[in-house]
Structure 1
Amino acid sequence: MEGSEKTAKKYSRRKDIIFRNTLDEDYLPFQSVKPSMKEYTQEELKKKDAPDIGNYSEANVMRTFKGKAAPIFNKDKLVYNKKTHEWYKVLDLKTDDQYNPTWASIMKKDGVDAIEISKPEEFDEFKNSLKIFINITKDGDDTMTIEVNPKIYEKFETAFEGPFEGAGAALMGCKLFFKGQVIDKDQNLSSIDGIKDGDYFLASEGFGKPFKFNRFPDVNNSWGWSNSGNSPDGIMFKPTQSIKVCGFSTFAARTKDSYELKYRVRIDGVDVEEETVIASGWENEHYYRHKLKGIYNAPAGSKIEFTCWIAESLSSHSYVETFSGQNGQNYKDIQNEHMGLFEIDSGGDSSNGTSVWSGHFPEIFYYLG
């Protein structure tokens, strides 16, 4: 405590010094920063006879901590006229020392003739964001409407994520539509033809049935794959185009109704999901198919690593035999809906035998894009 008091005394300033409103008036925690009695504008700092400036310059007079609003007008960018509901491109621009526009040459987005504006009231007719309403249809046909105000060049995946979470929906799990056309989440307002302030988007939760890629031509029925949970099985899928990962399968137990499964999904070295579940309800006799809690972006060329620990009981490491895949080295020749979509290699810290040739993870489930 004594050391902390000495440190505070060393770096604190006297209480009789008055600082700007945005600072704590009791002390300034850095003596190397010179306090200013007031905040000066750039114009004031340029005046030689400005009072009380002393040796302060624009560089060492403390400015406001409040973030400066982004300018609405930027050369070669679009702005939206809130009176006429038309889009304009800024061809040329002049600003004052505060970066406020004083003159601009603009042209309608689909026009040919430029017009000039220079009056404050003319600039006030424009804005760089739109009010958008989104009707979200969730599972069970439950519908809600949210309001968002994205900026013209802000990606929808950034602008919509927070409002979607606040509404209890997952943006990643929704498809976006505008006037019947699918909208990509990495688009922004500037790329949507015909959009106006107050327009509606539709968001449908769920992508429908995912695609499946099977990497094994054969299932080994002659002998069992031994699992105790002591060592993990793993594999790596590398997509040749961007996908969204939503599930995987492991093989079913040969003589049991269930087993315990701990799994981990890692994309480009980042763990995106890890869970322990009871695997049961074997499908087609040979598979346990697991839907992930989330849907995860995997760009083209990324490394998607699946790892699992399987046992009848993971706590006691009791053995369970499962089916397994074989002849996996021929995965490129197996008939799948998207032939050639994946390169497969060892991965996932596999030490229980799973490899490109044999073992677990016969299937990956995904959406394109």
Structure 2
Amino acid sequence: MEKSQVYSFHKESFYRDTLGEDCLPFQNITSSLKEFNQAEMKKKGDGDIVMSEANVIKSFKGQTSLVFNKGKLVYDKKTHEWYKVLDLKTDDNYKPIWASIAKKGGTDSIEITKEEDFDHFTNALTILIKIEGQKSLTIETTPKIYDKFENAFEGPFDGAGEQLMSYKLFFNSKMIEKDQSLATIDGIKDGDILYASEGLGKPFKFNRFQEVNTSWGWSNSGGSPDGIMFKPTQNIKVCGFSTFAAREKDSYEIRYRVRIDGVDVEDETIVGTNWEDKYYFRHRLNGVYNASAGSKIEFTCWIAENLANRSYVETFSGQRGDDYKDVENEHMGLFEIESGGESCNGTGVYSGHFPEIFYYLG
């Protein structure tokens, strides 16, 4: 087979390495989107094995390159931390024999001299991409940390029968640009998940409060939940929400649940931080969920500085929410708002959390 050929995607196919070794025929017996190496393929093979474009997907592995380069970042596979190479010495074959490195954003340096220590570092991470479009699937790829996403992800998307240009990419609920690389994404680690949403663009926002209450704080300790319910008057796709920011702290923990017509679509525990517009913590959901006209979209949250300890944190809150139909929004009258069934920490139509819902029409 020609190594440059791109093969079509089939639901019952799985990846294998077609670039590193001679291709051996294999039997398509496992539904997976993980790339298998030669040894793994030999374990799987039994009986007559047939290989064709119907069951092969192109490998997305790139060519090998030097891991250590002066002034560049490397990733420690053992500690899952990023380091910058401050200085470097190599032998005649450009193999590193000494390096001075410092944690990303730090100043204290350490020296590496042992071969086994150099082996802990890599310049490529395994990344999972969850694609949400007309079909939902997860692909695995291993881009170099300085490869731009527009180049590194084009092959995997093509191999899955999709076009990268049709999707928006997200990490930790924040949109990332396709001209970025892993080296520019704070907090990303080996095995992390990126989310790709198909061609929906920037979502709409519906704000239910006339004003933010800044004169006194909303008490949160994680023991009792806050909740609210949005009922759309036409079909929408739900993609996010906001809670209010802490008044005097940089972060808090939040367990949130999203329920549509009695079905839980997400139940996650995350850290709220990086307050937007001073008053809001805005969170993009892991997926995009259909909600038909008249359906009940219930948001529930438990907030504390530390949920395990139920430690207290004070947040801002909204008020005059009973005038939500008069709040200036792009789609006036799109929602009816009711109290959430489990809300017992004070949030209701008039005041409390969940000032915003983010959505697409249709």
Question: Normalising by the residue count of structure 1, what TM-score does the alignment of the two structures yield?
Answer: 0.47
Question: Normalising by the residue count of structure 2, what TM-score does the alignment of the two structures yield?
Answer: 0.48
